[in-house]
Structure 1
């Protein structure tokens, strides 16, 4: 699995994963080249269990427990900024440690000697947990589904009609997820041998995960894993207790450490401050430096320069009496310029991915034709090469075992598609059966392109395909017939299929490198998806009832709910919904995003001496703070600074323990959301409100109280 989201969005969970993939490739590939030839030697005498012993009751129980934890984490991140880092390391580490403790403890207290804990079972747990938490992202509870709700519709104003609003409830959300979330798994299964064996796609995230799990189950790796888990729990405890301590000072909105005016009150008004969030310090430690700098750069451009200049035009460019949350006022510029930047970035990468896929397929075809005329040189194979060939033969042997027949995949896809075509229009009457049929005809092609692109460069563009589906289907249905809901629902169908397809192929690659059965990989993905379909709506509903989700002034601003609804409004109303000069600015940023990506790609391909492309910011990342501000970008840059200093002092230790420390920081504060939400639902509030006032305002307050 990759690190999320194009990302709540991607940035979007997979977009962060894609950007992080380049750095991981550089670090992991070099290491693998040295040790890959010898990795399988450690398991030469170890018997590979059949698939029925890879998927065990204890593995499923462990997966379910971790899935609940990770769903809370992803849901919280989705509802705050939408920036979701990789939780694969944490899932692999915790899965390893929980079952390793299980298998070690039981014999010592007199119970029977349990089944040996293998790397295949570890792979099943990791796959299941990440598949489940992945539903928290692809389900759209913080984006397109939330965008249907009256809360977001009231903010968007445009299209706020009965046909374009849908009340959220656990029942239909859970049913909808079960209907659409499994289809993508069947769409890509027939191509597994072509992708993994014939084209030998690398799937960097899947390969990195496999290398991690393989190393855990060697004596040296198991020892290191115990130290990593100890570091994770240490910083988990610190993060949880720090969040608990902060709660006492946050009796109302605008109170507490989260509102500390780090750079002064003027900067605080423009959303520039450090909010003491351990979660996003941890996120910053995982994400590449350029991602965090891009976020900060986008915040400076927008909240530091653009929005103050546009607000100075109040009364000219837009009505002065409009509230700050109106899409016809300053909020419209924030939302639609961010949307234009994301769409420009997304369109470039979709086109780039299609071209890259076609070129790669053409080269594969050409290589196949020429292979008969190529004769390998004799006696040029080294010992390492022979070992690698033996490893590949062994992996291929196990990968071809327990295969799911293609006819099962075809029947599964057709059967689930028919069920969706029949049931989805009952959930969303704005979508007709032929709309769903068109989506299911197009989706396998896009799923192939996305899965192939992930194999090449570790980028998943699922959310971009979803955004384009919103525009196309909402425009075709029209505003009066509920085009906004139709567009958002079509996004759900398209995104679910495309996202789960690429995730499954990553898992097949991980399974191939750990000698895990393809059948156990598929079934663990199915089990994880089923868990996610149940857990995600329940966790989301917990937050939905406890907090004012979608309120821009709230802790849980859920920015992508309004952004996705804004895309749908753009589809049904066109440019007439934009405030003055917003169209010109949006087009400029749309084109600018494509130009920046083009320049970056050209420099990356042709300029090798100074590697200037490393210092060019990402348009997708720059667009996220346009709506939210720079506070979380500052948190993430602090995380980058910590990691940078750590690497300068001890690069090896930072590489081995950095992800574990970051995961602990993320997990601890995120899990505090559970008791905090319970306290909120119970009507309990913090005893103290810590606020910061300017000297002049403080004098007025004192005079008022004393007068």
Structure 2
């Protein structure tokens, strides 16, 4: 049966699609936006989907040129889709391990990959995810119970700007103004005058309760919403305002005599254990419950039941991806061949799980997928750090790119795009992202051993992967009894809250604490959680007074704040690197 929603669309070839300018625009935007996600991932452990930013900028540039008759015909709907596919694929490259297992591997082994091998590794796990998505596409897009909320948001934005061109111009102006404001403040802080971090008193400053002049954090707060923002502040109060003073008073954490300033590095070595346990157990429990829940289907499902077709080119692509991932595990990390081969079916299974969860909820459980992989390899090959981190990285990286491409396929389905052209665009994007992402990571963190897990670079995802690997390698017996009790308590609360979040009706579940926010607050400096919470509260207050303005511009303004500060921060790091050459 034909999908009636697509019956009025023109044939895919009726519009320009995989044009040179669409690919080049996505490539340029990918180069510009990838550093933002690397920077944000190392700062707060989160990344931002760049599809909507790429749509707005590409539309504004090319429609403006066409309107002024300066360059070519109008920018087509399908070209916009290719542009955002390339850009978002590049920016999502951090799921390949750049801000989690790769730095954790360096911290635990002291081995830093050279640039070219690191690029090859990040590309390989992402490339595997692309082909997994290709084979999942017919089944998951034909499942009417999976809505892919993130893809639908991109689709709605795409259709909206083509029906209301003036709205796109207004959003581009807001995006640009927010980016200039955020970037300008970061530039002043880096090059003109170091903006002081204010604290009410030295005691709170020692516990990391300072006001950080970061508009990037305000922007992320606007995106995460009031529920998560308030729980971040609650988690900061519990971890840094309650537990941290207890640890100091009872000599469970010993600070240097007369220590002044934020003591993040010392305190987080203890606090990360209950926080990580809470996050991991809650997410895995929620994931397990949702996997066994059957999505509801409407009686009149308009989608045909498509079958996966193993044609020669996709089969060769999958074979090449598998071969590349296995060989790189053996060559770069000295992992046994059979263990490297075992990572492939596990990675494929977990990527399928992640894609279904994203289709149902819009939330990519990449962290949970990585932890589940670590636990699996911890049981199969106990005590082996490389296998625990890098074989598990295969599942996390493949799941990240698979879910990103599935959202793009959802957009393509809505506009009648050609799937294999989107796949080509995704491959181009991950190629660009692998190069740019690695160069940016190495420029920002030339010495992971001394720079990471500090107040400047908290890198919560790195802390989580490192903690799980340490525990599975050395066993719980290597930890103090107090830390073990903290893990047990955090895990218990995580299992309980994760189960309730998935089993309770949505109206009841929204009153539960956000376990991701609570756990993350144990790993981030209190100043970061407070500023993100402040951003969430400010956005909520504006939405109460001006709901229409917030609906139109809140996400766009937040994206501008994130992009402006992160790009300026990356530029400052490059400048400092050049000065020291």
TM-score, with normalisation over the residues of structure 1?
0.75
Query: Residue 233 of structure 1: which of 168, 176, 180 is its match?
Result: 176
* Residue 284 (structure 1) aligns with: 221
Report the alpha carbon displacement of residue 48 of structure 1 after superposing the two structures with TM: 4.7
Matches within 5 A, 1:157-306: 164-199=109-144, 201-218=146-163, 221-248=164-191, 256-257=194-195, 259-261=197-199, 263-306=200-243
Matches within 5 A, 1:25-44: none
Report the alpha carbon displacement of residue 87 of structure 1 after superposing the two structures with TM: 3.2
C-alpha change, 1:86 and 1:501, in structure 2 (3 Å) is closer
Contact 1:575 1:583 in 2 (8 A): yes
Report the alpha carbon displacement of residue 546 of structure 1 after superposing the two structures with TM: 8.8
Is 1:416–2:317 an aligned residue pair? no
* Residue 132 (structure 1) aligns with: 90
* Residue 653 (structure 1) aligns with: 549
Report the alpha carbon displacement of residue 465 of structure 1 after superposing the two structures with TM: 1.8
C-alpha distance in structure 1 between counterparts of 2:254 and 2:161, whole Å: 61
Larger relative contact order (CA 8 Å, sep ≥ 6)? 2
Query: Residue 628 of structure 1: which of 524, 535, 538 is its match?
Result: 524
Report the alpha carbon displacement of residue 304 of structure 1 after superposing the two structures with TM: 0.7
Deviations 1:607-633 (A, max 9, x none): xxxx44323221121111212222122
Matches within 5 A, 1:12-411: 47-48=10-11, 50=13, 53-105=16-68, 107-108=69-70, 114-135=72-93, 137-149=94-106, 152-153=107-108, 164-199=109-144, 201-218=146-163, 221-248=164-191, 256-257=194-195, 259-261=197-199, 263-314=200-251, 317=252, 330-356=267-293, 359-360=294-295, 406-411=311-316
Deviations 1:315-369 (A, max 9, x none): xx57788999999x8544212222211221122122112212xx33xx76xx9xx
* Residue 425 (structure 1) aligns with: 330
* Residue 490 (structure 2) aligns with: 589
Deviations 1:412-445 (A, max 9, x none): 223321232233201111x111112111122222
How many pairs were matched up?
574
TM-score, with normalisation over the residues of structure 2?
0.91
The secondary structure found in structure 1 opposite 2:475 is helix
* Residue 435 (structure 1) aligns with: 339
Matches within 5 A, 1:395-544: 406-429=311-334, 431-474=335-378, 476-479=380-383, 483-544=384-445
C-alpha distance in structure 2 between counterparts of 1:305 and 1:258, whole Å: 25
C-alpha change, 1:553 and 1:456, in structure 2 (3 Å) is closer
C-alpha distance in structure 2 between counterparts of 1:86 and 1:445, whole Å: 24
C-alpha change, 1:140 and 1:472, in structure 2 (3 Å) is same
Contact 2:385 2:469 in 1 (8 A): yes
C-alpha change, 1:627 and 1:510, in structure 2 (3 Å) is same
C-alpha change, 1:612 and 1:351, in structure 2 (3 Å) is closer
Contact 1:188 1:444 in 2 (8 A): no
C-alpha change, 1:547 and 1:585, in structure 2 (3 Å) is closer
The secondary structure found in structure 2 opposite 1:276 is coil
Contact 1:207 1:510 in 2 (8 A): yes
C-alpha change, 1:242 and 1:424, in structure 2 (3 Å) is same
* Residue 469 (structure 2) aligns with: 568
Report the alpha carbon displacement of residue 127 of structure 1 after superposing the two structures with TM: 1.4
Report the alpha carbon displacement of residue 97 of structure 1 after superposing the two structures with TM: 1.3
Report the alpha carbon displacement of residue 648 of structure 1 after superposing the two structures with TM: 2.0
C-alpha change, 1:57 and 1:640, in structure 2 (3 Å) is same
Deviations 1:345-400 (A, max 9, x none): 122122112212xx33xx76xx9xxx7xxxx9xxxxxxxxxxxx9xx79xx8xx99
C-alpha distance in structure 2 between counterparts of 1:486 and 1:568, whole Å: 10
Contact 2:247 2:253 in 1 (8 A): no
C-alpha change, 1:215 and 1:567, in structure 2 (3 Å) is same
* Residue 21 (structure 1) aligns with: none
Contact 1:274 1:635 in 2 (8 A): yes
C-alpha distance in structure 2 between counterparts of 1:40 and 1:448, whole Å: 26
Contact 1:79 1:549 in 2 (8 A): no
Tell me how large the CA RMSD over aligned residues is.
3.1
C-alpha distance in structure 2 between counterparts of 1:98 and 1:465, whole Å: 38
Q: Rg: which structure is higher?
A: 1
Contact 2:222 2:555 in 1 (8 A): yes
C-alpha distance in structure 2 between counterparts of 1:593 and 1:637, whole Å: 22
The secondary structure found in structure 2 opposite 1:182 is helix
Report the alpha carbon displacement of residue 231 of structure 1 after superposing the two structures with TM: 1.1
C-alpha change, 1:325 and 1:566, in structure 2 (3 Å) is farther
Contact 1:81 1:628 in 2 (8 A): yes
Deviations 1:263-314 (A, max 9, x none): 3332222112221101111111111211111211111111011121122221
Structure 1: gaps (5+ residues): 1-36, 154-163, 251-255, 377-388, 606-610, 685-707
